Amino acid sequence: MSSASTDEDELRDHITRFMQTNFPQIKMHGGTAAIQGLDAEAGEVTIMLGGACSGCGISPMTIQALKTRMTKEIEEINTVYADTGEEDGSGMSPSFAGDDPDDDDGGAEVPF
């Protein structure tokens, strides 16, 4: 195994441990986070959030926190790309009771 691939494997492990330690709420709330791509030489990582993160209203804040903290706390990482997959239609879009007046989704009725 080459030194470059060993370094990349170690960086991948470091990122995984970082996410598990610093963002346990992703898993606790039914979400998933996976490294989709890693370019150790460029210092770039792509994280895909899935499960309950797709369509979650606070996933943009989670993504921003991942980007900010990872670039500050892992010196080998300069750029973090993160997404929930919603833009390409593979994720779920959030839905709220009462969004569609023709859909009786069992949501609470507004009292006024």
pLDDT of residue 111: 40
Q: Which fold has domain 3-83?
A: GMP Synthetase; Chain A, domain 3 (3.30.300)
Burial level of 27, CB count in 10 A (0-12/13-18/19+)? middle
Splitting the chain (112 residues) into consecutive groups of 10 residues, what average pLDDT does each group show? 76 95 92 94 95 89 94 96 70 40 45 38
Taking the whole predicted model, whether its pTM rises above 0.85 is answered as: no
Residue 43, amino acid: G
In the structure encoding, which two tokens stand for residue 61, read together?
């804040």
